[in-house]
């Protein structure tokens, strides 16, 4: 019976909308559903992250993936709640129990295109041995995978918990109430509305607007005349009206003592109350209000009391089991949604601070260099960028140029960026070679940061008198050195990214810039931009743009016009598709006469 119902549930529009919710919030669909007997009821192989799709082609890797899924299911079964873990390859996966009548009847889950920690050398060797792909291909794949920061892990877990609770409650009431009513159209619409309440958790609304949106949706769902959401202030033993549909806006911030009135009584007893006609109930405090019936229910986060939700009717009304069931589903969702709202405000505050720090780190304008022309820009994909570029004045004849990509976002990444800026300014002025600068940078970052913090960096020193540019590259996208005749090369010499392993050696190399030679520095947000067809801009796209530019400007190359050409080409290519990563471009053009 449970399996038959589960199949019906998975094919319902309610489940499809919930999948859309999770996809909208986490940028990933539910990839599999397996019932408690181990039967696969849903498997979306084509929607797995690119990393998974490629390595799963090998039987050994597929076996390892299946074992990781089985392990996550066992952990979710043991804990009875949503879990986040890692597979053998280090990719984040998750499992959500689907519960009907207090029994786990299935598990849903998938993978996030993220690592919890950077793959270690022994782990990379293990992946190579079981996957059959070559090291170069693996490096390209792993480079496109971001690290999950602690703040992101908390966000994901909060959403998974809300999603699991929503799914279980919907299954419960669909099974007990709606199926018995032969799935009348209005009940199907109500299920859709219940799912929409969960989507509020994924919205960018502030806390007050979120409560107003929930109140309005609840009022509509129960065909009522008003809805109010009270939040508990335990320090004063009071309830505060924090959210309502527009009919009660004038009462916002109204306070009720716990124990007073019907709402206060629900807060005191933690039990729901339905009054068919409040004129016959002396506990109702607002006899002058134009309401005749109330359904009041406590808001609980497990054993913790959060507040009360009230539904009002302007006429006497007999509250039936469907009304109670619908409000129960709403009331259980609200604490999780409020927690998401609080969390979002904390994150936004952190992002504001991080954004302020980063604004102080990025140069206001490129330096004026005799015999050279330089332009730069950075564009964050979200509120705060992980990209960084800088110009370091070493002496009258020498200037340093650095471009970096810091792992993660937020204050932690900004602090790492600030530390890196201080280090590179200090080392370039006191250390004799650029390779030693990078050696010291790597050790300093390794010793002073957590294991999940690292950065890629390209750093070079330009001799203004000779045009010689000496550089080293710590795992960053290799800049392209173009000669005025169109010949070009990648500036790759260096070593691994900064902060992963201690005492790593870095090689260095140099190129000589003559008139109209130039270097294009960039971050992976440029070459890894996608269009609506899923195609990547890539290095070939960058080269095509530069070659087209050279055809028109071969004798008069201007750094700003070339930068604009590259940026506009990216915008045209990815029209309608948001940047997947931060975008930084720096263009250095030699104007000096030999």
pLDDT tens across 28-78, in order?
Answer: 678 889 988 888 888 887 777 777 777 766 677 777 788 888 888 899 888
Q: What is the pLDDT of residue 381?
A: 64
Q: What is the pLDDT of residue 565?
A: 94
What is the rounded average pLDDT of the residues 422-434? 79
Q: Which of 187-201, 244-258, 513-527 has the lowest mean pLDDT?
A: 187-201
User: What phi and psi, each to the nearest 5 degrees, are found at residue 286?
Assistant: -105, 65
Which of 360, 401, 367 shows the shortest CA–CA distance to 384? 360
Asked if pLDDT for residue 395 goes beyond 60, the answer is yes
At the second CATH level, the architecture of 206-347 is: 2-Layer Sandwich (3.30)
- Bridge partners, residue 353, by sequence: none
d(C-alpha 364, C-alpha 354), whole Å: 17
Which of 258, 306, 296 shows the shortest CA–CA distance to 275? 296
Q: What is the pLDDT of residue 406?
A: 83
Which of 60, 33, 62 shows the shortest CA–CA distance to 164? 33
CATH number attached to the domain at 2-173: 3.30.450
pLDDT band at 349; cut points 50, 70, 90: low
d(C-alpha 189, C-alpha 195), whole Å: 10
pLDDT band at 416; cut points 50, 70, 90: confident
Asked if pLDDT for residue 321 goes beyond 60, the answer is yes
d(C-alpha 147, C-alpha 151), whole Å: 11
Output the six-digit token pair for 78: 């043991």
How confident is the prediction for the chain on average, in pLDDT? 81
pTM of the model as a whole: 0.53
Task: Say which residue, 120 or 366, is predicted with more confidence.
Answer: 366
Which of 96, 71, 102, 105 shows the shortest CA–CA distance to 86? 71
Q: Which of 183-187, 257-261, 551-555 has the lowest mean pLDDT?
A: 183-187
Handedness of CA 10, 16, 17, 18 (dihedral sign): positive
Query: CA dist 122 to 89, 126, 497, 526, Å?
Result: 11, 6, 17, 31
Query: CA dist 556 to 329, 350, 465, 484, 586, Å?
Result: 67, 45, 21, 10, 18
Handedness of CA 72, 160, 31, 102 (dihedral sign): positive
Q: What is the pLDDT of residue 446?
A: 83
Domains 206-347 and 362-590 equal at CATH topology level: no
d(C-alpha 309, C-alpha 330), whole Å: 9
- Bridge partners, residue 277, by sequence: none
Percent of the chain at pLDDT above 90? Answer: 24
What are the extents of the domains in the chain?
2-173, 206-347, 362-590
* Cβ-contact 470, 509 below 8 angstroms: yes
Task: Say which residue, 547 or 155, is predicted with more confidence.
Answer: 547
Q: Which residues contact 38 (CB under 8 A, 6 or more apart)?
A: none
Q: What is the pLDDT of residue 380?
A: 75
The continuous run of DSSP H or E covering 91 comes out as strand 91-100
Asked if pLDDT for residue 454 goes beyond 70, the answer is yes
Q: What is the pLDDT of residue 119?
A: 74
pLDDT band at 180; cut points 50, 70, 90: very low
Q: What is the pLDDT of residue 37?
A: 86
User: What is the four-CA torsion angle of 56, 58, 62, 63, rounded to 10 degrees?
Assistant: -160
Which of 88, 27, 40, 85 shows the shortest CA–CA distance to 63? 88
Residue 176 CA to its chain's centroid (Å): 36
3-state SS string over 297-353? EEEEECCEEEEEEEEEECCCCCCCHHHHHHHHHHHHHHHHHHHHHHHHHHHHHHHHH
pLDDT in tens, 559-586: 999 999 999 998 888 886 766 677 899 9
Helix runs in 32-91, H state only: 50-55, 59-79
Query: CA dist 427 to 37, 394, 496, Å?
Result: 61, 10, 19
CATH of 362-590, one of 3.30.200.20, 3.40.50.1100, 3.60.40.10, 3.10.110.10: 3.60.40.10
Q: What is the pLDDT of residue 183?
A: 43
pLDDT band at 509; cut points 50, 70, 90: very high
Asked if pLDDT for residue 151 goes beyond 80, the answer is no
């Amino acid at each position: 019976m449970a399996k038959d119902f589960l199949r019906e549930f998975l094919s319902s529009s309610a489940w499809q909308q919930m999948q859309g919710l999770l996809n909208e919030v986490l940028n990933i669909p539910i990839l599999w559903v397996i019932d408690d007997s181990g039967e696969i009821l849903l498997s979306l192989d084509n929607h797995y992250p690119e990393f998974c799709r490629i390595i799963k082609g090998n039987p050994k890797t597929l076996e390892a993936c299946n074992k990781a899924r089985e392990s996550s299911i066992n952990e979710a079964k043991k804990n009875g709640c949503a879990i986040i873990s890692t597979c053998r390859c280090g990719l984040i996966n998750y499992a959500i129990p689907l519960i009907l009548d207090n029994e786990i009847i299935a598990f849903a889950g998938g993978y996030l295109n993220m690592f919890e920690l950077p793959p270690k050398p022994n782990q990379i060797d293990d992946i190579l041995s079981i996957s059959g792909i070559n090291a170069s291909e693996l490096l390209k794949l792993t480079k496109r995978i971001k690290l999950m920061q602690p703040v992101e892990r908390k966000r994901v877990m909060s959403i998974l918990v809300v999603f699991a609770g929503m799914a279980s409650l919907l299954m419960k009431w669909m099974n007990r109430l709606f199926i018995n009513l032969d799935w009348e159209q209005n009940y199907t619409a109500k299920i859709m509305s219940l799912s929409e309440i969960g989507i509020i958790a994924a919205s960018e609304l502030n806390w007050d607007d979120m409560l107003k949106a929930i109140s309005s949706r609840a009022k509509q769902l129960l065909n009522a005349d008003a809805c109010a959401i009270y939040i508990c202030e335990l320090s004063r033993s009071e309830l505060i009206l924090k959210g309502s549909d527009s009919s009660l806006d004038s009462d916002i911030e109204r306070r009720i003592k716990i124990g007073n009135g019907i709402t206060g009584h629900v807060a005191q007893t933690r039990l729901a109350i339905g009054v068919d006609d409040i004129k016959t109930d002396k506990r109702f405090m607002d006899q002058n209000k134009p309401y005749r019936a109330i359904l009041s229910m406590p808001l609980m986060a497990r054993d913790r009391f959060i507040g009360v939700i009230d539904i009002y009717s302007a006429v006497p009304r007999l509250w039936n089991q469907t009304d109670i069931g619908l409000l129960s589903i709403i009331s259980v969702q609200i604490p999780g949604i409020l927690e998401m709202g609080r969390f979002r405000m904390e994150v936004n505050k952190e992002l504001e601070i991080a954004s302020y720090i980063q604004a102080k780190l990025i140069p206001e304008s490129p330096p004026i260099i005799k015999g050279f022309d330089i332009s730069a820009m950075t564009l964050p994909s979200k509120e705060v960028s992980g990209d960084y570029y800088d110009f370091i004045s070493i002496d009258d004849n020498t200037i340093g140029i650095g471009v970096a990509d810091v792992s993660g976002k937020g204050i932690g990444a900004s602090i790492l960026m600030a530390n890196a800026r201080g280090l590179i300014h200090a080392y370039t002025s006191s250390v004799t070679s650029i390779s030693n600068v990078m050696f010291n940078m790597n050790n300093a970052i390794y010793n002073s940061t957590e294991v999940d913090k690292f950065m890629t960096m390209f750093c070079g020193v330009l001799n203004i008198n000779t045009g010689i540019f000496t550089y080293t590259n710590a795992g960053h996208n290799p800049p392209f050195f173009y000669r005025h005749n169109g010949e070009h090369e990648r500036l790759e010499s260096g070593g691994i990214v900064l902060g992963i392993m201690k005492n790593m050696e870095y090689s260095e190399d140099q190129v000589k810039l003559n008139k109209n030679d130039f270097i294009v520095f960039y971050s992976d947000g440029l070459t890894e931009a996608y269009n609506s067809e899923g195609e990547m801009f890539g290095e070939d796209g960058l080269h095509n743009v530069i070659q087209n530019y050279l055809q028109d400007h071969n004798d008069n190359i201007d750094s700003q016009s070339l930068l604009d050409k590259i940026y506009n080409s990216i915008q045209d290519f990815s029209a309608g598709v948001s940047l997947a990563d931060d975008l930084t471009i720096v263009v250095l053009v030699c104007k000096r006469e030999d």
